[in-house]
Amino acid sequence: MALIRPATPDDVDHILRLIIELATFEKEPDSVKATPELLRKNLFETPYAHALLAFPSEDQNTKPVGLALYFFNFSTWTGRPGLYLEDLYVSPESRGTGLGKALFAELGKIAQEKNCARLDWNVLKWNQPAIDFYEKGLKAKSMSEWMGMRLEEQGIANLARGV
């Protein structure tokens, strides 16, 4: 039986390994700038986000093969918090074993405990296996009427300077 548990500071190397695997799968391996130090600081010392790890068995001495990294946001329309899933990843050798669904089940429990109105995430348009899993396996609905927007570091700096 698989094990899903919250990550601890001792897990940062595993978390980074899974993030790099995800970035490689998403064809962006050079985009990862995270380090063990940054993950330790931002997940545990000043917890801006949280992580769940998935293990193929209840033996925690095995390496984790899945990751869900999430944080809480807020819905002005519902007046309640929401849970935003930043990344979900299951190693290729463990896909189809129920670990993705188990990670989502744990996220669902957390969202209910925190009285979240919704659980949101993004998926790359080309990742059809993931889309199928979300739509068919989880009965999630796509939010095609919304478009994501982003400012990266230079854009944030320009904004802060009033540019």
Domain spans, the chain:
3-160
Residue 2 is predicted with a pLDDT of 87
Nearest to 70 by CA among 26, 114, 132: 114
Confidence of residue 57 (pLDDT cuts 50, 70, 90): confident
pLDDT for 59: 79
The residue annotated as part of the active site, out of 48, 70, 89, 134, is 134
Active site (annotated) includes residue 134:
yes
Does the pTM of the predicted model rise above 0.85?
yes
pLDDT band at 8 (very low <50, low <70, confident <90, very high): very high
Nearest alpha carbon to residue 108 among 4, 12, 1, 8 = 4
How many Cβ atoms sit within 10 Å of the Cβ of residue 91? 19
Q: What DSSP character marks residue 113?
A: H
Q: Which fold has domain 3-160?
A: Aminopeptidase (3.40.630)
Q: What is the mean pLDDT of residues 67-92?
A: 98
How many CA atoms, within 13 angstroms, populate the side-chain half-sphere of residue 98? 8
Contact criterion met (CB below 8 Å) for 54 and 104: no
